[in-house]
Amino acid sequence: MKKIFIVYGGQKSGKTTTIKKVFSEVKKNDDVSVENLCPRLRVEIFNIVSFKKIRIGFSSMGDVREAACRKIETLCQRDCDIIIGAVRGTEKSPMYTDMKEIAAKWNYEIEGISVRRTGEQADDFALAVKQDVVDRLLSIINELNR
């Protein structure tokens, strides 16, 4: 079954940075093609990566409810096998509820992955990458490509 992973957390908790790191690591592989769905974006990403057997949708926009939901719905429409998105808040936030409804509409499973901001992150942007989340998502992607 297709799956949506929602990386959620507060402002400046590392959601976008973590999603960008997964995207960057996947792009390093052979047999990868990238479709940029919104080239004018500077900070956020909205891409589909075809990697071996699977299509992975990436949307790091998680702050504006309507835009975030629209991006995830577009990735569902584009038939991605895995979607990695962001939500500012928790699994109980209205935006996460919207994501669950989108997942159900398009017959996707959904799983939330929490990222938390540490005090050190305020001073060091690099610490915002949640390496455990990156490693977990990369492991799932690699498993699906076997």
pLDDT at 25 over 90: yes
Residue of 101 and 116 predicted with greater confidence? 101
User: Could you tell me the pLDDT band of residue 127, with boundaries at 50, 70 and 90?
Assistant: low
Per-residue model confidence (pLDDT) at position 12: 83
Mean model confidence pLDDT for the chain: 89
Q: Domain-by-domain residue ranges, the chain?
A: 3-121+130-144
Q: What is the mean pLDDT of residues 110-124?
A: 72
pTM, two decimal places: 0.90
- Pairing label, strands 32-36, 82-88: unpaired
pLDDT at 11 over 60: yes
Per-residue model confidence (pLDDT) at position 143: 92
Per-residue model confidence (pLDDT) at position 124: 55
Rounding to the nearest 10 degrees, give the CA dihedral for residues 105, 141, 5, 102. Answer: -10
Q: Which residues contact 49 (CB under 8 A, 6 or more apart)?
A: 23, 26, 27, 32, 33, 34, 35, 55, 56, 58
CATH class, domain 3-121+130-144, is alpha beta
pLDDT at 118 over 80: no
CA 128 to CA 146: how far, in whole Å? 30
Read off the pLDDT of residues 45-78 as tens digits, 9 standing for 90 and up: 999 999 999 999 999 988 888 999 999 999 999 9
Q: How far is CA 9 from CA 38, 86, 91, 144, in A?
A: 24, 8, 9, 26
Per-residue model confidence (pLDDT) at position 56: 97
pLDDT at 38 over 80: yes
